[in-house]
Amino acid sequence: MRTEKGSHLHHPKLIIVCILNNPSLHHRITCILFITSEIRRQKMAAVNILVAALLFHAVQYGDCMCELRHPQQQYCESDFVVLAGILDKDVIYHKEGFPMAIHYIVNIKKVFKAGPEYENATKTMIISSTSGSGVGELEMDVNYVITGTIMDDNLYTSICEWVKPYHNLTKAQKNGLRFKYDSGCQCEFSFCREGQCGQLDSNNTCEWEFGIMFDCYHDDGICFHNGEECVWRETRKFRQCENNIYLGDQKFTNEVIPDPM
């Protein structure tokens, strides 16, 4: 393959249930966070299998082991991608004094991706995570990009999805959400070890180097189909990132497609 410059399983302890108050795309959702141990027990065996299967391409968040995916891959594989702000929360305590639930008020400000399933869904969002993993500690007055799946007419997301403050996204990631990620959704993503990239015989795959160039691809790389094959469109930031890294003899060289970003 030539390149050009240019599922997860977990055992959640906390679940946030968000219930839509308005059926339009711009709406507020009431979220309820509750503790569940039954799901954790049911998932434990599956998590053990996952750990063995994803030793190389996995990342751990708290108690969760998640498949490592490119932001564009998460966008393409999700049923919905939204920009949501956390407006308010109310911690509910059990009579014995420990926190039992958190009610969140969420404002979905923009829908980047949503198919027919989104329109037909009841707009109940369930966000599952482990304590301390970040999703259960969403900050007030912060806008988050949230990806997820739709099952049984409900919206689901988790720590293994893309849940990140929008202001922390790179320019390439923001542009990808608005219009560029979608152009590469027919492509697949494949990891390659440093020094072994470029050996895959496929026109439908963008290789993601698992090495010192990892952050460059993650933060600023955009995969797209140029009419013949899937290639990387590198932004100006990507080239700057690459230039700041000493690659030596193991450099994975791509041809450049000029990009004004």
The helix/strand/coil state of 52 is helix
Rounded Cα–Cα distance for residues 24 and 121 (Å): 11
Rounded to an integer, what is the distance from CA 240 to the centroid of its chain? 24
Considering only the C-alpha atoms of the chain, give the largest distance between any 2 of them, rounded to a whole number of Å.
Answer: 64
**CB-CB contact of 181 with 72 (8 Å):** yes
In the numeric block, which tokens belong to residue 158? Answer: 């988790």
What residues contact 173, with CB distance under 8 A and at least 6 apart?
71, 219
DSSP code for 230: E
64 is in an annotated binding site: yes
Cα–Cα distances in angstroms (integers) from residue 251 to residues 11, 18, 60, 91, 244, in the given order:
39, 46, 28, 51, 13
Rounded to an integer, what is the distance from CA 31 to the centroid of its chain? 20
Annotated binding residues for Zn(2+): 64
Annotated binding residues: 64
